[in-house]
Every structure is written in structure tokens, then in C-alpha cells.
């Protein structure tokens, strides 16, 4: 029986960045001086831009400033600043000095100050970072809290550099090696996760070479992004890639985008952007938040690549986005997919320009046995899967069982990876590195299967719910719940709580209402949600909690956090905590 093992046949590259450049800084140095690099957009009256020449000068200024503050080769440098050209320049300046820069999420109203302080303190301690750079608006109370419990020095970033340097600072002795570490990125959008991923210049350049070849990137491309720079999708795809390939990037902050998602359409239309990446939730969020007058005034015909990445791809999400914006000139073949993770720099797979593969399967067989089988004509439980594409060059994948045995195609198991872009290990965490590796393969913790040489990602192994012998994925339940007109879109959490009386987990759902509960019939809503989940999945919701707006806990990336919401639910409902 053939096992699910994917290897990519090596091919020639159109843009071999590894052959052209020794480091990311060499790539930046080779960029055309007067070519636009970054346009930082806040609104029509508030936008800044820099050419590559101006950006290099800004990097030189930042390098000089950081040197004055005591930053030296080998230092870990934490950057906690709003999304901006300044943050990007500070990051590259850290690399230029031979330091190891890491971008962390900026504090916002969605995150509890004490939780944020604890997370930042933990990351800084794990990295052994002697310096944290913040801007002038960083909350002073947080700095005071952190200074009282940590030895890290806080450096306030200057608003401007006066006078501007007109030459490179003296960096004698700070030569950089291709295989030397370039930076650290964290493997999730939360400051609380103690898993810094150390990446070398060579690994990043190899990744970008494979990705640009797969997407046929060329000098006429323009990148659009609202993605946070502390996330691999924002940092690598929308910062390192345009920097190394000398492309313009039109950038706005994720905070501003989420308040006005329709601005994405306006900026793509205005600047004729051709490349963009987004997580799956945005493919539903944007159509549902974009006014009709904005749609009719914008054209998306310039987009040749819009990649659904970083989450399991939902067929319904892709179809909804396609239906909404096909009248705006969006080409169906522009909607591509990818599987990516910080430990591999970024992408592992990428769908071709022909688009991803979608299949329909029997939901009952999948949930009970983890097998992908054709759905019977009269089946009441049909499930759709959309692939994340084919494996990129330099990457190999295996699908394995709980015992580590390789599984055949159309069988679900854990995704294992080995790659020429794989991380150097979790920084200062050899214990986590060792537990994540198996004979040279990285255990991703993601579940998926292979069909027709394409990878289908199902979800996180740790999120899997086992209800009465049925394997459920929380996102399947959450999607059904969020279809209810009174549930806030994207604000539902499905959990499994063990019930000692039945010997299995109970399916528990927390749903956030769009309006205060006094304005609707909660019992009727509960009946409708329970009926919808039972009809589509065949499993009953044991406990359903309807919560007021803003109750569900979010990560710093702005997405509902299942683990943190679970903890909050158990605190508020201690009767659920059963042995």
C-alpha cells in the first residue's frame, strides 16, 4: 500500500535568491535606489512612503541609534512598536548589527494588561533579551510592571532621526554569514507563547526562492498587506519577500484594517496590487463587512494571487469570497491556497496557478474512522475539503498514525515535515525542540491527508474533539453556529469537556451575541443552534452558552482563543470543572 509521502522534484528557479545573495541584507543592498518599497497607509490624509534608498538610509540611522543604546552582535532584540516603516527599519537594523531581532504584538484593548505583561515578560526572559524597544505611546504602567520583575532594558524609539545620516555607520567586525541566524519569529500570534523560532539568512532565502518560483513572482508585482509583522505570514510573505525581490508593498495595520476591512479593496484598486495573503477567516469577514457601494467602485482585476493561508482552508469561505467579488473583476484562478508555519520560515505547500483541488466526502466515515470516502448520494452528512496545494521544492511531507507509522493517501494523520528551510530549533528551548522532532522530521501538530499529490489540512491535533467516538473539529461546529443571524460572525468557540458519567467528552459551545441578551429570545436561539449542529454533524450540543458582545477572549492576532476562552468559561462556571 502506497504511503502518504510527498517529495517535490527539483526544478530550475526563475528567481534564485540563494545564488544571488549571501544574506537578506545583501538583497536589500541590491534594490534599485528610487524604486518604491513601502507605502504605509492610515487614511487618505495620513500615509508615508519610502524608496529602497530611503529605507536603507533609515536602517543605517536605526543601526547607529541601537549601537548607541548598547545593542551588540549576538544580542536578542525585542521590538514592540506599532506596525510601521519605523518598525521594519528597526528590525533590519537589528539584523545589520548581527543582533537577533524579534517582533512582538503591540498592546491593545483586546488583551488584558496583566496577561500581556506576563506574556511579554516570559518571552523576553526566554529569549534572554537585554533590550526591548518600545515607542513613546507604549503604556508606562506596563513598563513599570515589567521593570519591577525583569532585568530587560527598555529603549524608547525616536520619532525621527535628526540630522539624518548620509553614510553607513561603522560596522567593522559585524560581518554576517549566510548560515548565521537572521532573526527570531514566534510560532503563534500571542506574546504568551514561549516558542521563539530561530531562522538563518540561508533558510529564509531558500524559502523565498521556492515560494517566488511557485507564484511566478516578477518585477512588476505589487504586494498588499494588512497582516501583523509579528506573524510569519506578515513578516516573511509581506516584508522579507518584497525586500528580497525588490517589490513595493502597500501596508496598513491590522487594527485599522479590522475596523474598516473595505479599505483593502480600495488600496488594491488604487495601487493595482497583484499579490496578497490572508488567513481563512478573512475570506468570510471581508465580504460580510464590505458595503455594496465600495464593491461597485473597486476593481480587483489586478490581483493575480490571493492566498488563503495559515489556517485550514474552508471550501465555503473560498466560495463566498469568489461570489462576492467576481463582479469586481476578481479572477477565480487568483484564489490560491497554502500551508505554512513559522518553523519552516513560512510556506510548506502552495497551490498552482490552476487553483486548489476541492473534494466532497462522507462526513460520517471521516469523523468515525478518519478515512476520506466518496459520499453516498443519499448521505445527510457531506463534508467538503479544499487542498492547501502541492509541496514546495526542498520540502518533504509524511502523514503518520499515532504510532508513527506512515499512512496511505486519503487517510488522516499527523503531518510531519523535513525541509531545507526548517528552523534551527526553538530558541533557548532544547526541550521543546527535542520533543518536536522525530528522526529528522518535524512533528507539526497538524492533522491532514494527501490526495492526488496535494495536502489537505484538517485542523490542530490538540483541538480535536472526541465525542462518543466521533472525531470533531471545532471549526466545523463553530462555522455552523456563526451562521445564526444573531451570533456575532466569527465569535463562537466549540470545546470538549470530559463527562465522567458518560465516559466521553461533552460538546460545549460558547457563542457571542451581536446584541445584549435582553433583546431576543435566548431559548429559541438555543433550539435553532442545537438543531443546526445536529442536522449537519449528527452530534448534539450538550451545553450552550450565549454570551454578551466582547465576552470571548481573543489572541493578540485578533482571533478567538479556544484555550483562553475555555479557561474563562471554567472560572465563571466552576460547576463544569469535574474530575
- DSSP of 166-216, one letter per residue? -S----TT----TTSEEEEEESSS-TT---EEEEEHHHHHHHHHHHHHHHT
* % of the chain at pLDDT higher than 70: 89
Dist CA 388 CA 425 (whole Å): 25
CATH match for 464-576 among 3.30.1360.30, 1.20.1630.10, 3.30.300.30, 3.30.70.100: 3.30.300.30
| Strand ranges, E, within 334-484 | 335-340, 347-350, 358-362, 382-386, 390-391, 395-400, 413-419, 437-438, 441-451, 454-460, 465-467, 470-472
Question: In whole angstroms, how far apart are CA 379 and each of 365, 479, 532?
Answer: 11, 20, 16
Q: What's the whole-number mean pLDDT along residues 424-441?
A: 90
The span from the CA of 283 to the CA of 189, in Å, is 19
Quote the CA–CA distance of 88 and 426 in Å, as a whole number: 23
CB atoms within 10 A of CB 570: 14
pLDDT category at 16 given cuts 50, 70, 90 is confident
Rg value, the chain, Cα: 24
CATH H superfamily, domain 17-259: ANL, N-terminal domain (3.40.50.12780)
- Return the closest-CA partner of residue 200 out of 62, 344, 104: 344
The pTM of the full predicted model, rounded to 2 decimals, is 0.86
Closest to 341 measured CA to CA, from 467, 465, 218, 448: 448
Instruction: For residues 387-394, give the mean pLDDT.
Output: 96
Whose cell is 474512522? That residue is: 369
Q: pLDDT band for position 66 (50/70/90)?
A: very high
Q: How far is the CA of 242 from the CAs of 314, 393, 394, in angstroms?
A: 28, 20, 21
The domain locations on the chain are 17-259, 356-461, 464-576
Quick one: cell of 221?
508585482
3 state SS of 347: strand
Neighbours of 29 (CB within 10 A): 12
Do residues 246 and 32 make contact, with C-beta atoms less than 8 angstroms apart?
A: yes
Supply the mean pLDDT for the chain: 87
Name the fold adopted by 356-461. Luciferase; domain 3 (2.30.38)
> Comparing 502 with 534, which gets the higher pLDDT?
534
Alpha-carbon distance of 299 to 301, in angstroms, equals 6
Amino acid at each position: 500500500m502506497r504511503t502518504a509521502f510527498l517529495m517535490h522534484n527539483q526544478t530550475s528557479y526563475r528567481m534564485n535568491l540563494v545564488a544571488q545573495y549571501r544574506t537578506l541584507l545583501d538583497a536589500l543592498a541590491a534594490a534599485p535606489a528610487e524604486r518604491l518599497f513601502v507605502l504605509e497607509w492610515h487614511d487618505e490624509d495620513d500615509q508615508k512612503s519610502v524608496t529602497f534608498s530611503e529605507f536603507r538610509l533609515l536602517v543605517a540611522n536605526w543601526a547607529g541609534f541601537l549601537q548607541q543604546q548598547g545593542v551588540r552582535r549576538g544580542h536578542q532584540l525585542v521590538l514592540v512598536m506599532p506596525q510601521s516603516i519605523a518598525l521594519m527599519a528597526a528590525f533590519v537594523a537589528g539584523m545589520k548589527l548581527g543582533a537577533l531581532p524579534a517582533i512582538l504584538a503591540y498592546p491593545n484593548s483586546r488583551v488584558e494588561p496583566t496577561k500581556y505583561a506576563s506574556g511579554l515578560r516570559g518571552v523576553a526572559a526566554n529569549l534572554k533579551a537585554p533590550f526591548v524597544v518600545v515607542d513613546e505611546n507604549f503604556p508606562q504602567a506596563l513598563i513599570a510592571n515589567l521593570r519591577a520583575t525583569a532585568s530587560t532594558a527598555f529603549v524608547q524609539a525616536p520619532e525621527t532621526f535628526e540630522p539624518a545620516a548620509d553614510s553607513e555607520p561603522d560596522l567593522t567586525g559585524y560581518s554576517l554569514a549566510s548560515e548565521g541566524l537572521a532573526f527570531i519569529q514566534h510560532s503563534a500570534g500571542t506574546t504568551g507563547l514561549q516558542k521563539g523560532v530561530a531562522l538563518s539568512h540561508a533558510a529564509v532565502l531558500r524559502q523565498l526562492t521556492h515560494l517566488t518560483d511557485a507564484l511566478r513572482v516578477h518585477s512588476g508585482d505589487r504586494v498588499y498587506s494588512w497582516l501583523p509583522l509579528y506573524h510569519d505570514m506578515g513578516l516573511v510573505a509581506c516584508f522579507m519577500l518584497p525586500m528580497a525581490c525588490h517589490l513595493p508593498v502597500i501596508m496598513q495595520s491590522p487594527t485599522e484594517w479590522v475596523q474598516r476591512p473595505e479599505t483593502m479593496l480600495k488600496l488594491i484598486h488604487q495601487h493595482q496590487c497583484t499579490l496578497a495573503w490572508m488567513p481563512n477567516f478573512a475570506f468570510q469577514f471581508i465580504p460580510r463587512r464590505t458595503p455594496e457601494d465600495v464593491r461597485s467602485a473597486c476593481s480587483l482585476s489586478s490581483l493575480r494571487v490571493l492566498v488563503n493561508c495559515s489556517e485550514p482552508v474552508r471550501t465555503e469561505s473560498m466560495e463566498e469570497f469568489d461570489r462576492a467579488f467576481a463582479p469586481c473583476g476578481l479572477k477565480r484562478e487568483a484564489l490560491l491556497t497554502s500551508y505554512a508555519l513559522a518553523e519552516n520560515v513560512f510556506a510548506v505547500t502552495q497551490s498552482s496557478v490552476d487553483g486548489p483541488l476541492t473534494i466532497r466526502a462522507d462526513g460520517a466515515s471521516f469523523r468515525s474512522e478518519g478515512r476520506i470516502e466518496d459520499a453516498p448520494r443519499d448521505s445527510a452528512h457531506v463534508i467538503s475539503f479544499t487542498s492547501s496545494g502541492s509541496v514546495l521544492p526542498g520540502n518533504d511531507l509524511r502523514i503518520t498514525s499515532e504510532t508513527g507509522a506512515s499512512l496511505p493517501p486519503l487517510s488522516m494523520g499527523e503531518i510531519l515535515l523535513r525541509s531545507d528551510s526548517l528552523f534551527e530549533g526553538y530558541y533557548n528551548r532544547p526541550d521543546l525542540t527535542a520533543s518536536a522532532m522525530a528522526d529528522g522530521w518535524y512533528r507539526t501538530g497538524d492533522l491532514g491527508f494527501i490526495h492526488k499529490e496535494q495536502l489537505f489540512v484538517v485542523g490542530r491535533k490538540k483541538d480535536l474533539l472526541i465525542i462518543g467516538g466521533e472525531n470533531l473539529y471545532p471549526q466545523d461546529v463553530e462555522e455552523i453556529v456563526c451562521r445564526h443571524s444573531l451570533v456575532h460572525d466569527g465569535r463562537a468557540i466549540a470545546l470538549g469537556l470530559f463527562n465522567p458519567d458518560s465516559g466521553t467528552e461533552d460538546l460545549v459551545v460558547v457563542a457571542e451575541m451581536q446584541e445584549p441578551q435582553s433583546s431576543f429570545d435566548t431559548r429559541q436561539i438555543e433550539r435553532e443552534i442545537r438543531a443546526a449542529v445536529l442536522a449537519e454533524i449528527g452530534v448534539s450540543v450538550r451545553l450552550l452558552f450565549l454570551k454578551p458582545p466582547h465576552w470571548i477572549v481573543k489572541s493578540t492576532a485578533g482571533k478567538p482563543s479556544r484555550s483562553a476562552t475555555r479557561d474563562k468559561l471554567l472560572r465563571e462556571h466552576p460547576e463544569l470543572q469535574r474530575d
